[in-house]
Amino acid sequence: MLVDRFGRPLKNIRISITARCIYRCIYCHNEGVDRHVRDFLEPRDLEVIARVAIDLGIDEFKLTGGEPLLRDDIVEVVSSIARAKPRDLSMTTNGFRLDELAQRLADAGLMRVNISLPSLRRDRYRYVTGVDMLDRVIKGIEKSIDAGLTPITINVVLLRGVNEDELWNFVDFARRYEARLRIIELEPITVPRHVFNALHISINGFEQALREKASRVYRRELHSRPVYLVDGVEVELVKWFGNPRFCMHCTRVRLTPDAILKPCILAKEGVDLKPYLRPEPREEGIRQAFIELNRLRRPYTATA
């Protein structure tokens, strides 16, 4: 296992497999990736990278975008990584195509999904995303459960004046679908300053209410995120803005759609894997790239 000079192991890799989005979302930071990327990693590239990563102890994989379900070869992408036998293989998605793809993704080896859901009200959902597809996303959640992509995680970005009055409704929604709930503070990444200032709201007030109702409180190893068990629902809070503890306990690295390994979404430096993938893959080169990436890791101060 790779452990950096601060004693932090690399366990998770977040793989952005496309920079494209289905709709305009007012807070989407696109994983910090340039939206004009054209030379995407192919499934065969991802399988080689996954094998090397697992050999180094990185065995938890999450596929992200943009929107990963926009890849025409998304089932093949999942299958290629699954062949490397990771301990966990999940996906973060807006859920728009899950109603048609959930079973195929599960058959290919996907284990679970995180679904972004900014509101349970159609008008607010349409305001945040620009499209009227809440009913379709909920159908996708149900199809994912039927396919065994569980436990589902519902991701909710907290937005001032938009959805902060829905948080307990989301707890009830998560209970209905036996899902986990993740409440996320708005992140000032590629979001215009005036938009961030208008929409950002601290998660602290909701956390205090959770603390009063929770039957159990614990922390996830990744980022030391607090989790509150409320009426059988795991409610996880993601607060990295102004929270050095979040970065201190990070065990994640990132891979961009064009093969750049990065130690953090905020990092400007990274290691390019393309020379070790084409024309033929060289696993030892990829291995050394991960080791070099580990040298670049450092705690970030999570402030805007």
pLDDT in tens, 118-129: 999 999 999 999
Could you give the number of structural domains in the chain?
Answer: 1
Tens of pLDDT, residue by residue over 192-218, are: 888 889 999 999 999 999 999 999 999
Element (H, E) at 271: strand 271-272
| 31 domain residue, yes or no | yes
- Give dist(CA 140, CA 124) in Å, integer: 19
> What pLDDT shows up at residue 299?
65
Tens of pLDDT, residue by residue over 142-179, are: 999 999 999 999 999 999 999 999 999 999 999 999 99
For the record, the structure tokens of 258 come out as 């064009």
97 is in an annotated binding site: no
Angle at the Cα of 72 from the Cα atoms of 267 and 252, rounded to 5 degrees:
25
Q: Which of 98, 181, 90, 178 is nearest to 138 (CA)?
A: 98
Domain that holds residue 63: 12-296
Angle at the Cα of 11 from the Cα atoms of 155 and 15, rounded to 5 degrees:
55
Taking each helix axis from N to C terminus, what angle separates 283-296 and 43-55, rounded to the nearest 10 degrees?
A: 60
Which are the contacts of 89, defined by CB distance < 8 A and separation ≥ 6? 61, 63, 78, 81, 82, 109, 110, 111
124 is in an annotated binding site: no
253 is in an annotated binding site: yes
| 304 domain residue, yes or no | no
From first CA to last CA, the distance across the chain in angstroms is 32
> What pLDDT shows up at residue 26?
65
For the chain, counts of helices (H) and of strands (E): 10, 12
| 191 domain residue, yes or no | yes
CA-CA-CA-CA torsion sign (28, 60, 253, 258):
negative
130 is in an annotated binding site: no
Q: Which residues of 106-137 are buried (b: 16+ CB within 10 A; e: fewer)?
A: bebbbbbbbbbbbbbeeebbeebbebebbeeb
252 is in an annotated binding site: yes
Distances (CA, A) of 50 to 25, 177, 230: 30, 31, 36
For the record, the structure tokens of 224 come out as 């030391």
157 is in an annotated binding site: no
92 is in an annotated binding site: yes
CATH number at residue 126: 3.20.20.70
Q: Is the pLDDT of residue 38 over 80?
A: no
| 302 domain residue, yes or no | no
Q: Which residues of 224-235 are buried (b: 16+ CB within 10 A; e: fewer)?
A: ebbbbebeebbb
| 301 domain residue, yes or no | no
Q: Per-residue pLDDT averaged across 126-143, rounded?
A: 95
303 is in an annotated binding site: no
- Give dist(CA 205, CA 216) in Å, integer: 18
139 is in an annotated binding site: no
Q: Is the pLDDT of residue 77 over 90?
A: yes
| 271 domain residue, yes or no | yes
Residue 162: phi, psi to the nearest 5?
-120, -55
250 is in an annotated binding site: yes
14 is in an annotated binding site: yes
83 is in an annotated binding site: no
247 is in an annotated binding site: yes
| 3 domain residue, yes or no | no
182 is in an annotated binding site: no
| 168 domain residue, yes or no | yes
137 is in an annotated binding site: no
